[in-house]
Each structure stands twice: as C-alpha cells, then as structure tokens.
Chain A
Amino acid sequence: GAGVSQTPSNKVTEKGKYVELRCDPISGHTALYWYRQSLGQGPEFLIYFQGTGAADDSGLPNDRFFAVRPEGSVSTLKIQRTERGDSAVYLCASSPGATSSYNEQFFGPGTRLTVL
C-alpha cells in the first residue's frame, strides 16, 4: 500500500519568503508527526497531531513555524519569513494512533528545504 508521501521533494527559496510543505499520511493513520533533520544529525521533533488537533507543538522553534491538519489527514507545515538556518530536511511520519502506548512511526522521504 501507499506509504507517507511528502511534497515537494526539494524546495529552494530565498531568505524572507514563505513556504508550505505538505504531508500525506498513510490512510487511516490518526497520528501525524513533523520532524526536522539537519545535516549529520538525527531528526528533531517539531509537532504532533492526533486527528485534527495539535497534541504537542513543543518542538516548533518559534512563531514563524505553524502546522495545520484541518481534516485529520493531510498536513501542511508553514514557515514564514524563512531564514538560512531553516535549511534542513523536513520529515513527516504517521502512525495508527494512540491505541497503545508506543506506535511505530512510518516516515516519508522528506522535503529538503534550502534557504538562500
């Protein structure tokens, strides 16, 4: 079956611009996660959705970052006034939901964001 998909795969933008990154989770998965991975580092948690609501947004670095999941499926990560330090691979993951304590998170291929 289809896995987690992310679009675009690559995004190059200029400093100060606005970008949107999209994530399509596995069908039926109620939990969705965004992580950011810098070169040579492990993924860093940004935000977690359970259904339509953000259950934990403690990883968002500042108010330039915002994410939505209006219908409980597709999610969009929005970054305003991009800075060069925002350059990273943005990973999305989904899992079946909080039916048990720990769920395997299925990751998408990521969106590589480059801010010039």
Chain B
Amino acid sequence: SQELEQSPQSLIVQEGKNLTINCTSSKTLYGLYWYKQKYGEGLIFLMMLQKGGEEKSHEKITAKLDEKKQQSSLHITASQPSHAGIYLCGAARIQGAQKLVFGQGTRLTINP
C-alpha cells in the first residue's frame, strides 16, 4: 500500500472548471512535492512545500500544505486540456531525508 493516499484516484472535469486533488498522510510530511506525469514520460516538477501553512502558486495551479503538515492539496483554476495527466504527490518521511515516498497518483482528464 502507498504511504501517501491521494484522492480522488481519477477525475474527469469539463474544460474551464476548477478542481482539487488531495494528498494525505498519517504521519508528518517533510518536503512535500507535487509532480505531473504524462503517459510514457518522466515526472515534471510542479511545486515543493516545506512549512506548515505554506501555499505556492504557478500559473493556474496552487498547492497548500496544512498547518499540521499531514495533508496537501493541489488546486487548478479554470482547467485546460494541457492540465490533463497524472498528478503525484511525494514527500520525505524523515526530516532531511533525500528519498521520497509517493502517492498512487490522480489521473486527471479534461473534457472539451
């Protein structure tokens, strides 16, 4: 089983709609990362959050790390076809650790 749980596992939204993907852990997260993956390709880095309560935005994507550092959310505003893909959250389990554990991914489909 994955150490990080992502929800939903898949999501289909109409172009232009907003959406949120969640990443939850039973333990404290350190260095929470969001990546995007397209079929047959490697992971593309989106954002990294480190401090509880931290929020970062890039274009129409916003990520937050909750105060207790056990959950993160990724929010996409006014979705576009280019947002389609698999979104993965990854985190270090031990402070300062370099290896990451990942969620199982959320497959996002954007319907025109």
Contacts and interface: CB of A to CB of B under 8 A. Distances in A.
Q: Check if A and B associate.
A: yes
B58 interface: no
A63 interface: no
Contacts of B48: 102, 104
**B interface bracket (residues with beta carbon within 8 Å of A):** 20 to 34
Interface stretch (B13-21, B73-81, B101-109): B101-109
A55 interface: yes
B42 interface: yes
A102 B102 contact: no
Contact of A105 (B2, B41, B95, B100): B100
Contacts of B102: 42-44
A56 B105 contact: no
Nearest to A112: B40
Interface of A: 4, 31, 33, 40-45, 48, 50, 55-56, 58-59, 91, 93, 95, 98, 101-110, 112
